[in-house]
Amino acid sequence: MNATTSLSTLLGIRHPIIQAPMAGVSTPRLAAAVSEAGALGSIAVGAGNAAQARAAIQEVRKLTAKPFNVNVFTHRPAQADPAREAQWLDYLRPHFAALGAQPPGALREIYTSFLADPAMLEVLVSERPAVVSFHFGLPSADQIAALRAAGCVLLASATSLEEALAAEAAGVDAVVAQGYEAGGHRGVFDHEQPDPAIGTLALVRLLAARLRLPVVAAGGIMDGQGIAAVQRLGAAGAQLGTAFILCPESSATAHHRQLMRAGAGKDAGMEPGEGGGRLRTAITAAISGRPARGLVNRFFDEVGASGHPPLPDYPIAYDAAKALVAAAGAQGVQDYTVNWAGQGFQLARELPAAELVERLAAEMAQG
């Protein structure tokens, strides 16, 4: 059995393609459409509570009986630091003032880490999704044991060989090799250490050569030719996120879609300076407190400019960003919107999810 067949068998899918969870963009409808088409659809529940997670899982099940993935955030729980948080809000105050608004009086930990959320574990154990995946680190041994006992296949993202070996030792079933090109949050286990910043191709080859587990490539892969390329390097399959943003089933905002279309050269209605050739992605921690790649705007160039004060912990910093986005939105200003995207965003296609999966599979077969 080759690596691709092994992954497809492990996940119960026809095509070795995983739609990335993408909190804030993925939906039960998107996940179900991808799974119905023979790939693995995903939903992200890390940005919600246990009741919301159960509702999302049940919504996917209303739409498909096929396997799907439920992703949780396994970051180190935030440590509140009122002085640091007040300093960050003072730093953001001029941005709020320019919008005729005031920053919030205090910041909250808006997402609970799976590591500190027994209610979320109970939901997953009782709902028994076919696949559960982890981002930002690994769960405890007891959590892994409980999910294994529930029959869940376990995936973990890794940005380095060290993280991948830790995931293998922890007992996961496959590792998602997240290259530096990937959109959204970097999955680094300890973001206070230097980011390994390894590209997808190098990371896939490294992990495929050193791990006993199937390796799933992620980062910058937008078409079937890209999937075929990483398979030649030893990947058992690929996880694509940015490629699915323009699907009608995603919950991407109208502005996010407009930027993506402009990047692909398909939207002449953009404002000056936002045209496709000038759009770019970069990584900043200034939005959420953890490094993440998105389409550059004032959050990257101004808020995240060098010399800013220390960031509050993730996701406390995100509470400030969301308040600034809301203040800007109330004035019709798009300069602070959060539009996660990977480096291959200009290759995005606006297709229904099922049609995109079939197109990817056909391109992959052609090599």
Looking at residue 281, what is its pLDDT? 97
Looking at residue 264, what is its pLDDT? 74
Q: What is the pTM of this model?
A: 0.95
Residue 146 is assigned to a structural domain of this protein: yes
CA 205 – CA 217 distance, rounded (Å): 10
Q: Name beta bridge partners: 294.
A: 282, 340
Q: Do residues 339 and 19 make contact, with C-beta atoms less than 8 angstroms apart? A: no
Return the CATH number at 25. Answer: 3.20.20.70
Looking at residue 268, what is its pLDDT? 43
Looking at residue 3, what is its pLDDT? 73
Residue 337 is assigned to a structural domain of this protein: no
- What crossing angle do the helices spanning 50-63 and 28-36 adopt, rounded to 10°? 40
Closest Cα to residue 299, out of 282, 317, 286? 286
Same domain, 199 and 163: yes
Same domain, 62 and 118: yes
Same domain, 51 and 99: no
Residue 342 is assigned to a structural domain of this protein: no
Same domain, 49 and 195: yes
CA 339 – CA 87 distance, rounded (Å): 26
Phi, psi for 19 (deg, rounded to 5) = -80, 120
Same domain, 134 and 170: yes
Looking at residue 275, what is its pLDDT? 41
Query: Residue 366: which residues within 8 A CB-CB, separation 6 or more?
Result: 224, 225, 228
Same domain, 61 and 197: yes
Residue 340 is assigned to a structural domain of this protein: no
CA 150 – CA 316 distance, rounded (Å): 32
The residue range of the domain holding 175 is 3-77+112-244+349-366
Structure tokens belonging to residue 16: 């070795």
CA 223 – CA 204 distance, rounded (Å): 17
Looking at residue 102, what is its pLDDT? 97
How many structural domains is the chain composed of?
2
Same domain, 90 and 175: no
Looking at residue 1, what is its pLDDT? 58
Residue 265 is assigned to a structural domain of this protein: yes
Looking at residue 273, what is its pLDDT? 41
Same domain, 132 and 58: yes
Looking at residue 152, what is its pLDDT? 98
Residue 338 is assigned to a structural domain of this protein: no
Residue 183 is assigned to a structural domain of this protein: yes
CA 258 – CA 60 distance, rounded (Å): 27
Same domain, 158 and 307: no
Same domain, 361 and 233: yes
Looking at residue 5, what is its pLDDT? 66
Residue 104 is assigned to a structural domain of this protein: yes
pLDDT averaged per 10 residues in sequence order, the chain, 367 residues: 80 98 97 98 97 98 98 97 98 98 97 98 98 98 98 98 98 98 98 95 98 97 98 98 98 97 69 56 98 97 96 98 98 96 97 98 93
Same domain, 11 and 56: yes
Same domain, 161 and 103: no
